[in-house]
Amino acid sequence: MKPTVVVALSGGVDSSVTAALLSEKGYQVIGMTLALEPVTGAAAGRVVTGAREAAAALGIPHIVVDMQAEFEREVIGYFGREYLGGRTPNPCVRCNRLIKFKALVDQARALGATKIATGHYARTGYLPETGRFRLGRGADLKKDQSYVLYNLTQEHLARAVFPLAGYTKTAVKEKARVLGLPVVGKPESQEVCFVPDNDYRGFLRDRYPVARFTPGPFLNTRGEVVGTHQGLAFYTVGQRKGLGLALGSPVYVVALDPGRNVVVVGEDPETYNHRLFAGGLNWVDVPDLTVSLAVTAKIRYAAKPAPAVVHPVAGGREVLVEFTTPQRAITPGQAVVFYNGDWVVGGGTILRRD
């Protein structure tokens, strides 16, 4: 008999097929759903109900774990603080490490399970020569989620199973249809689960006092005032739409300066840079970086990996990343993730471009 595995079950097609595939392989599967907001709320209620229906269809036990306080503190609070500080956060990266995989490991320990699983399109491996567990790209490169998982620890990866590693999204949907799972036809989850309609500006306005959104100057790259912005939280590097500027030709956000409450705008070529600094590092294939390393790097989820060299600086607490070709809209607060072929070397949070 194969070991017991705790599966993160959201009631969607990916997590439901993940649980089904593990059951077919002989694992003893337990579905786990996170309550991230009051289950009396419409969205949370749909998630829990959908997960229960999927578990019932699969004939597996199902538990609900209350993580509301942790989610509020570690993800939603962080999301707001970052935007108000002139950075663009990636809440999914933080949630995976501090909420989802933490809860999976905690429940696995409590239930005597040796493995945990999610419906991410990624894969794991093991390097005998270093004794380290690995994280790699999934087969469906359009759906690959190794970027948002780069921050997982060795304990997470040692326990993790990603059954969708070799599947395409189309094949997963077909598997759900063949199995007759109640998830077929359900809409995909939204980009940020706690932001209604992905309207992060509306979310911030509702959550924080108007006083936190202080207007200030738009400056061009020559330092000239060209308009007034509505608050740093409403802008991100690379943005063109919604600036409210009529300067005769398209302009883009080039940089945010929280110290001066300034939004710098410029033409599209001015959004490109060769270098960035990153901190908050997490290494996967190596225990630490002590020498410069050639990699390919992604500066956002949808970006194509680009050749770069990573240099340790500040005693290893930060890295300087130098790209062979300039990258558009390097954005403080977002993740930069380093790859060796299909395997994640590590990554960190972008601090500033250079």
Contact by Cβ (8 Å): 318, 278: yes
Residue 319's closest CA among 343, 340, 337, 339? 337
Q: Catalytic one among 193, 262, 345, 350?
A: 193
Among the listed residues 71, 72, 79, 131, the one whose alpha carbon sits nearest the alpha carbon of residue 96: 71
Residue found by looking up tokens 């409450």 in the block:
261
Clarify whether 95 is annotated catalytic.
yes
In angstroms, the CA 239 to CA 203 distance is 19
The H or E element spanning position 208 is none
Q: How many residues does the chain have?
A: 354
Which of 55, 75, 95, 281 is catalytic? The answer is 95
At 25, which amino acid appears? K
Q: 46 with 37: CB under 8 angstroms?
A: no
Taking each helix axis from N to C end, the angle separating 77-84 and 200-207, rounded to the nearest 10 degrees, works out to 100
Which tokens hold the place of 175?
Answer: 């598997």
User: What does the alpha-carbon distance between residue 291 and residue 267 come to, in Å, rounded to a whole number?
Assistant: 36
| Residue 92 annotated in active site | no
Which residues does the annotation mark as catalytic?
A: 95, 193
